[in-house]
Structure 1
Amino acid sequence: MCRPEIEKPVIGEGANHAPITGLDTHERSKCMATNMTPTGGNGNGRLEPTSINGEPRIRDLDLAARLGFSDPHKIRNLIERHADALAALGISATVAETSPRGGRPGKAHYLNRKQAIFITAKSETPEATEITIEIIEKFDAYERGAVAPVDPMAVLNDPAAMRGLLLNYTEKVLALEEKVKEQAPVVEAYDRIANAEGSLSITEAAKALQCQRIKDLTAWLHAQKWIYRRAGNKDWLAHQDKLRAGLLEHKVAVVPDHVNGGDRVVERVRVTPAGLAHLAKKLGAPSSNGHTQH
């Protein structure tokens, strides 16, 4: 297996440092002096808080790597979608990042405790609960003084520390690549529903899950006792255990009554985001013949 190329940090006057936002003048000067400007990469998965303006924060790509994102940079799409909610949880600290390979500069986000927990919950990855606990423990340890803030220049000036950091990073990249291969169906399932918000009809859920035919999903839901029909009624309803689990919900709709005239009130079953995630994992595993199981 080929080992990944490790990008060399950009330091000194040749680095293309961009303004740091969300910080006061003193802290911007401090960050520039200690080369806090990231230089690309995919995050190291180590949730070590960095002090910015006196407040501990975690870099977005490090959090993404720890959460198991196949592409850690996708966490920034999640952050942008929830920018308003994150702003309500504290100042947005961002740093422009460049790469020695060139290309368009990116923007790294440094999240405080509440922001990191919020994004972890929104990621809906299998590791989210475990990582939430780890974030709380890391920030608590930092605030107790049990964890010293990371000094980037100290690492860069210590060959042994730098060598250990690079080796650790390489090992984590290789392990992550292997994990991505093993969990590809689950990763693809979560990617398909990453933008899903609110409940969906069965038809909409079938499209989101890329089912070949809508009736295939309906038949599966019926066979697995997610939905049922009352005698003499063509409308599908959710089984109580799926309602209690938050996988399905009912919504009241007013539809034309073509038999008696006027309108009638009906209950329509809908798939919640939690239900969609559950279905994505259930239906995303390839069978032995290479087709998707239903």
Structure 2
Amino acid sequence: MTTSHAFEASPSLVLREPTVQDLALANALGYERPTTIRKLIKRHAASLEAMGSLRHRGAMIVAGKGAQRLVTEYHLTNAQAAFIIAKAGTKRGDSLAIAIAEIFAMVLDTKLVPANGAALAELEAISGRELERRLAIQEEEREARSDAFRLLGRGRARRR
């Protein structure tokens, strides 16, 4: 059985990992202005970089009246593309995000299993990274609460 995708993965020049060009993804997601996806990618750059290097390159485009302009073109890994799909806010993006969520549920329910030891190791590494991120978030929240309580305590001391 062959699967048809609205966008194609292209081999990365650096790591030979398949990537998706930003405008191809935007078209697949149904963006009216495909370049809008670049703002979304920039806004979520930190999260995307948590999944690996955020690959980009300068690309020359021809603007109105033949003027040339340098723009940043992004090449997302499959994981990064899945993240952007979930954030896209388009009907096509929502449909794809639902499919991704259903596949994720199948993995958690052990209806899909790793194909080999390498895939199992990768799943375990993903779980480990997620745990590290969750613990970092909890620590950050704990520090924010401590700071807030300290500030509240200073306010009460001044009122007395």
CA contact (8 A) 1:66 1:131 kept: no
1:118 paired to 2:83:
yes
TM-score in terms of structure 1 length:
0.29
Structure 1 residue 99, shift from structure 2 partner = 2.2
Alignment partner of 1:92 out of 54, 65, 86: 54
- Name the residue aligned to 2:149: none
CA contact (8 A) 1:64 1:72 kept: yes
Structure 1 residue 86, shift from structure 2 partner = 0.5
AA partner of residue 76 (structure 1): R
Q: Percent identity?
A: 32
Structure 1 residue 54, shift from structure 2 partner = 1.0
- Name the residue aligned to 2:9: 49
- Name the residue aligned to 1:105: 70
AA partner of residue 51 (structure 1): P
Structure 1 residue 131, shift from structure 2 partner = 3.3
Which structure 2 residue ranges, 5 or more long, are not aligned?
A: 101-160
Task: Report the Cα distance in structure 2 between the residues aligned to 1:71 and 1:82, rounded to whole angstroms.
Answer: 19
Structure 1 residue 46, shift from structure 2 partner = 3.8
Change (3 A) 1:128 1:60: same
Structure 1 residue 87, shift from structure 2 partner = 0.4
Greater RCO between the two (CA within 8 Å, min separation 6)? 2
User: What are the Cα deviations for residues 146-180 of structure 1, in whole angstroms up to 9, with x where unaligned?
Assistant: xxxxxxxxxxxxxxxxxxxxxxxxxxxxxxxxxxx
Secondary structure (helix, strand or coil) at the match of 1:104 reads strand
- Name the residue aligned to 2:36: 74
Which protein is richer in helix relative to its size?
2
- Name the residue aligned to 1:59: 21
Is the radius of gyration larger for structure 1 or structure 2?
A: 1
User: What are the Cα deviations for residues 255-290 of structure 1, in whole angstroms up to 9, with x where unaligned?
Assistant: xxxxxxxxxxxxxxxxxxxxxxxxxxxxxxxxxxxx
AA partner of residue 17 (structure 2): E
Pairs within 5 Å for 1:120-269: 120-132=85-97, 133=99
Alpha-carbon RMSD across the aligned residues, in angstroms, is 2.1
Structure 1 residue 77, shift from structure 2 partner = 0.4
Task: Report the Cα distance in structure 2 between the residues aligned to 1:92 and 1:127, rounded to whole angstroms.
Answer: 23
Secondary structure (helix, strand or coil) at the match of 2:91 reads coil
Task: Report the Cα distance in structure 1 between the residues aligned to 2:67 and 2:77, rounded to whole angstroms.
Answer: 29
Structure 1 residue 84, shift from structure 2 partner = 0.4
What is the aligned residue count? 91
CA contact (8 A) 1:86 1:115 kept: yes
